[in-house]
Structure 1
């Protein structure tokens, strides 16, 4: 069952939920971060964070500390802390010369990583002695804009995708916050006690900008989607062998693992797609579309929705192309981001949310795929 929420008529490129899921932070494609609080079945705007000078590109809400981090095209990041009901910003100096593109807290929420157009990843942590946030840079061998990030559950490994057609895994170890003797992982037999060590690097055969990367819940697999309409998986348990599937769909922009076997990807086709990875055979196959609700509508309700969309997008009934301008999907424009909303006891994802360029946030039930 799906649940549709409309916050704005503007695109919503990013969002993130509070630890108890009672609030959500979104950016309506400008320099602001809007926080909405759930009131029964409605989302009511609670506050607006407007410290950035240019468009906010990414938001992440720490699940352990209740802090929000946002980054922007103004080359800055802010950490927002709730103090007596008021969100107070702390500027983080990223030391980059181009826009910040993506930000993610580590699983322990004691550091976060920011990708940028400066071919750099800034790994930021709080220094108690000086009472400020500082960062360490990961640069080589990144050759172009960092578009996406995802943390391994061990709080040290960091996956990234970039516009140089590659997905990579780095060590984001910070001695000030991490254990002095980190444990080896599936991806490296040696402890990775150094910031910026390259653990692995992969590219698809045809190439294409990498739009999204994601570790599986157990951390043994990495998946990514590229602009050549491909989806790829590399398996650490199989000596880092990887498989790439070229899909007939428009390029995906985001993805998430709902379990160690199932991947959900979405993008320019406006519809989340379910993929299954077989650990035994190493095969990756598309199973089905998650968006099935519109096909079950009665004729009357479909007509009502059609006229509503005609009015929203200012399409004339006399326009011969009007029927082609309304997609038979819940999202009416590209899906930009998928987030986990609720987790199962096994560590899988029971429910996901998607936001897109149509201003909608949609919840999808994925409990069958955990």
Structure 2
């Protein structure tokens, strides 16, 4: 059954004064849109959907966005998409147990793809590019995190050796790690991200774990099994600092100290407000005597009122983020000041 109009269309908004104004709608997909990414240098948008298609959108002179179909050659839904740092290619994950690495073929004037298949055995849930524009990290529902070479010799020169390896033909497996084997458990991987240097790879899994692999230290993995609900997104905000957010509705700051990942702070310091002038003690007494509480008291003590889907660096970069953004299934987009958090908390150093 096709999805609703809101699920299959992508709305483009423009900031006008203090309001947001819809300026265009991308409506080529037939089923739910599952991934979207914007290329800031070339100002292009790529979308993918459950209809097994991807489109590259280019803005024309009048401000409208023109679509170009991408030949993904997959037989299952596309699940995620990510532009490379140089924006000359992008990767699409799918339920077809493969990754489509897409690039523009000048001779035929269209976008084509090459596949990375082995040893993927399950749906790709997340992707991220190494700063060198060649290596590609992928998380999947088989509890695995893998790093592949996504080198396309038709459009780029031979890559230089890195701490991940030296030989990099397309599809070369550079690293493979169980999602949280170090913690003695497991869970499908929700998100992966390279550090600014490209030497480390962080990910979060459905068993509420946060893990970091260091390729410069013999692919050593450190894992923290948190007491939070699972995280859905993770972002580097410093050389040794990460922000993770998900089903607990609150972004959490973690720091790497030696061989351990430690919780440094909660970004959301909001406190739940008392409703109708009734004190917490009176609410407790009412619950104790009458076995009931306020029926309309359903709000959370956090700014986000539902799970957080995406975290992004809003100002700065992965080596030194000043502000980050979070968006959730509650429809909120929130900007968080990481630097002010550091200055307000004694002893907190984000490096």
TM-score (norm 2): 0.87
Which residues of 2 match residues 55-204 of structure 1 at below 5 A?
55-84=32-61, 85-179=63-157, 181-188=158-165, 190-192=166-168, 194-203=169-178, 204=180
Could you say if the C-alpha distance between residues 41 and 219 of structure 1 is closer, same or farther in structure 2, counting changes exceeding 3 Å?
Answer: farther
Deviation at 1:233, TM superposition (A): 0.5
Could you say if the C-alpha distance between residues 228 and 28 of structure 1 is closer, same or farther in structure 2, counting changes exceeding 3 Å?
Answer: farther
**Is 1:339 aligned to 2:312, yes or no?**
yes
**Is 1:362 aligned to 2:341, yes or no?**
no
Which residues of 2 match residues 240-255 of structure 1 at below 5 A?
240-255=219-234
Q: CA RMSD in A?
A: 2.1
Q: Is the 8 A contact 1:104 1:113 kept in 2?
A: yes
Q: Is the 8 A contact 1:156 1:173 kept in 2?
A: yes
Q: Which runs of 4+ in 1 moved over 6 A?
A: 300-303
Q: Which runs of 5+ in 1 are unaligned?
A: 1-26, 304-317
Deviation at 1:41, TM superposition (A): 3.8
Larger radius of gyration: 2
**325-334 or 156-165, larger mean C-alpha shift:** 325-334
Aligned to 2:287: none
SS in 2 for 1:30: helix
Deviation at 1:63, TM superposition (A): 1.7
1:174-225 deviation per Cα after TM superposition (whole angstroms, max 9, x unaligned): 011221x21011211x141x11100000112211100000111111100100
RCO higher in structure (CA 8 A, sep ≥6): 1
Q: Distance in 2 between matches of 1:122 and 1:58?
A: 14
Q: Distance in 1 between matches of 2:105 and 2:307?
A: 39
Which of the numbers 215, 219, 227 marks the counterpart of 2:206? Answer: 227
TM-score (norm 1): 0.83
Which of the numbers 14, 19, 25 marks the counterpart of 1:42? Answer: 19
Deviation at 1:302, TM superposition (A): 10
Q: Distance in 2 between matches of 1:151 and 1:302?
A: 51
Q: Distance in 2 between matches of 1:178 and 1:55?
A: 33
